[in-house]
Every structure is written in structure tokens, then in C-alpha cells.
Amino acid sequence: MSSLIDLAASFESSGVADVLQGLDEELIGLRPVKTRIREIAALLLVDQARRQLDLVSTAPSLHMSFTGQPGTGKTTVALRMSLILHRLGYLRKGHVVTVTRDDLVGQYVGHTAPKTKEMIKRAHGGVLFIDEAYYLYKPGNERDYGGEAIEILLQEMESQRNDFVVIFAGYKDKMDDFYLSNPGLSSRVAHHIDFPDYTESELLQITTLLLHQQNYEFSADAVDAFRAYIARRRQLPFFANARSMRNAVDRLRLRQANRLFSQMHTPVQRTDLVTIEAGDVLSSRVFQGVVEGADPSIPLTESPTLS
């Protein structure tokens, strides 16, 4: 057996390079997250090389924790991470099953175990992505069955560690409390990755990209107006980073269409149909301190609407 391993060739033949490149192209910013994903990929490639040379070591633990605000790319990165693990041979299928507390925890005795085990079964060969995982644990409620779901997860994460990966996700402060309350769970999660909020510049880049994907573009004045929109929107409740920018694009298209429709007796050109003008931005209710799409009869502190 040769004692030489060509890591570059292994990296190229695995197809992981394409996944990482796609991640760079799909997600703006998130440099610390992308760096950590590359580090995990490097760990796994080196682990494979060691195994080829019969260098025995403990198999890398792959369970992860993604923390951050809504709309920071956690679900997208989970999909790409699953694909990396599949291409490197650590997962048989590479699919992602996304669940919340309601998918795992029952409402009566004997209901939780089959629900949790069914979701785990669906995730075999791939990733079980548990969003807002801290809701599994409700201290002080003796009639809550979330603890049973956690115990089953702990058992399966250990006994089936070669057949599926669990990614816990949610707000960082709540996830920190969640792990403090479950030390056994924390010890089984090897990779804790924090997703930072996007900067205003990155949010503008994201919005411009979303517009380009649908054959729209900002006018020069609209760019300045949207910078002001971002600054104001970030201060309002329920801000969700890239998700809020996607919603903003939908409303920009709506206002542009209504502007053009109000001038329907004037023929339109291609540039008219493509261009988002400053007025389309500045007519947003955000400039009056209101979250767009929220029910005006419900106080902002109660409204569930994200935009």
C-alpha cells in the first residue's frame, strides 16, 4: 500500500469543491460560517486519508449547532452541509428533514416516542434539522413531554451516529440556555457555528441579487433610497435579515406594478418594466415606522408578520 495520499485529488474527485463554490455564490457574506464549513470538510478529507493508511482514530462527531437570527442562512447551509457529508461518504442519502417541536413532542403519554422515532427514521442517511430546538425543553412543566424527545434523540445520536446527523438551530442566547440545561446533549454536539447578522452593505447586495434574478434593477436614486430603507427596517420588530429583504423585493415589485398601472395609457418600455425607482422604495410604510404586511389592528409587539 502506498504511503502517499493526494489530498488535492481527493478533494477534487469528491465534488465537495463544487458545493463550497456554490455556497460562496449563493450566500453573500457569512465569512466565518463558510470558513468553518471548509474546516469541517478538511477534517473529513484528512480523516479519510488516515483511514486509507490504517491510522486508527475516533470517527469525527458530526452533530452540529447553528445559532443566529432568522434569515441568516442556517437552513441553506444545512442543505449544503448534508450534501458535503453525502459526497464524502459519511451520509448515505444526503437529504435534510426539517422539524420543530410539534413534529417530535406528543400531547399525551405514549405519543412522543413514536413521533420522535418516526422523524429520526425519515432522517436516516441524512440530516435531521431541528429548528428552534430550545422549545423541546420546558423547565418547570412536569406534564411536558419534550424531555422524552430529548432523551430519545440522545440515544439515537449515539447509537446511530453513522447513519444520520442532527443539527440543532435557533437564537444563540436561547440555545446557550438549552445546552446548559442538557449537558449530555451539549457533549454530543461537536460543531457550534454562529451565523452573524448581515451588514447593511451585505443586505443591499442580497437585495440587488434577488432583483437581478427576476430581471429587475434599482435606479441610481433607488439604491440610495433602499439604503435608507434598510437602516430603518433593521430598527423595527421582526427583522429577519435576508428573509426580510426577500419580502421587501416582493413589495417593491408590487409598488412598481401599481405605479406603471396607474400610467397605463402611456406605453411602457423594457427599461420601465425592469427598473425599480426611488419612489417605489420611499412609499414603503417602513418610512412611517410600520412593518409592511403587519395587520394595523395588532400592535407591533404582537404581530407575527415578518417583512
The whole-number pLDDT of residue 83 equals 95
* Topology annotation, domain 59-195: Rossmann fold (3.40.50)
Q: What is the mean pLDDT of residues 170-184?
A: 91
The whole-number pLDDT of residue 12 equals 83
Name residue 170's beta-bridge partners.
67
pLDDT band at 162 (very low <50, low <70, confident <90, very high): confident
Secondary structure of residue 120 in the 3-state scheme: helix
The whole-number pLDDT of residue 112 equals 92
Say yes or no to pLDDT of 141 above 80.
no
Distance CA(130)–CA(136), nearest Å, equals 10
Q: What percent of the chain has pLDDT over 70?
A: 93
More confident position, 6 or 43: 43
Q: What is the mean pLDDT of residues 110-127?
A: 94
Distance CA(17)–CA(21), nearest Å, equals 6
- What nine digits make up the cell of 189? 454536539
Let me know: does 203 contact 230? Beta carbons within 8 Å: yes
Distance CA(189)–CA(176), nearest Å, equals 12
> Amino acid letter at 15?
G
Q: Most distant CA pair in the chain: distance in Å?
A: 79
Select the CATH number that applies to the domain covering 200-288 from these four: 2.60.120.200, 3.40.640.10, 1.10.8.60, 1.10.10.10. Answer: 1.10.8.60
Residue 231 has a CB neighbour count (10 Å cut-off) of 12
The whole-number pLDDT of residue 307 equals 39
- DSSP strand pairing (127-131 vs 96-99): parallel
Say yes or no to pLDDT of 62 above 50.
yes
Q: Where in the chain is the domain with CATH 3.40.50.300?
A: 59-195
Let me know: does 189 contact 179? Beta carbons within 8 Å: yes
Distance CA(67)–CA(74), nearest Å, equals 8
The whole-number pLDDT of residue 297 equals 55
> Amino acid letter at 68?
G
pTM: 0.87
- For 184-236, the pLDDT digits (tens) are 888 889 999 999 999 999 999 999 999 999 999 999 999 999 999 999 999 99
Distance CA(210)–CA(28), nearest Å, equals 11
Q: What is the mean pLDDT of residues 272-283?
A: 97
pLDDT band at 298 (very low <50, low <70, confident <90, very high): low
The whole-number pLDDT of residue 293 equals 64
Q: Where in the chain is the domain with CATH 1.10.8.60?
A: 200-288
pLDDT band at 108 (very low <50, low <70, confident <90, very high): confident
- What nine digits make up the cell of 290? 410600520
Q: How far from 77 is each of 19, 167, 171, CA to CA, in Å? A: 10, 11, 16
Mean pLDDT (the chain, rounded): 90
Q: For Cα atoms 270, 272, 277, give the angle at the middle one, nearest 5 degrees.
A: 145
- DSSP strand pairing (217-218 vs 191-195): unpaired
Q: What is the mean pLDDT of residues 273-278?
A: 98
The whole-number pLDDT of residue 285 equals 93
Considering 157-166, 225-234, 265-274, the range whose residues carry the highest mean pLDDT is: 225-234
Say yes or no to pLDDT of 303 above 50.
no
Distance CA(224)–CA(154), nearest Å, equals 50
- What nine digits make up the cell of 37? 464549513
